[in-house]
Amino acid sequence: MRVPKGWVSPLTKEIVTALCKKKLVELKIAQGKAVEVLHDVILDEFTIEDRLNKEVKELLKKYDVEIEKGRLDYRKLFELTKQKLVKERNIIL
């Protein structure tokens, strides 16, 4: 995650407050609940790449022996696998 997790809460409060203040949205739930929901959405979006990287690492564990023997380049294999998953799943990073 490129944005520190500690920034997500203040960021979500600012977004909800600004949208309400400018009357760009009309909340049908309490503002605090809207902040919580937005917090979860933003945190989920910010951690997509982290979760994808973890999944790629798990997939590549199958090839540890070949990588250690120098038959496969881990970095290149990692990037190719990641690109393939991004394309298959239509993930925007």
| pTM attached to this predicted model | 0.69
Residue extents of the structural domains in the chain: 5-46, 48-89
Q: Are 13 and 35 in contact (CB under 8 A)?
A: yes
In tens, the pLDDT along 27-65 reads: 999 999 999 999 999 999 889 999 999 999 999 998 888
SS3 per-residue string spanning 28-74: CCCHHHHHHHHHHHHHHHHCHHHHHHHHHHHHHHHHHHHHHCCCCCH
Rg of the chain taking only CA atoms, in angstroms = 19
- For 52, other C-beta atoms within 10 Å of its C-beta total 17
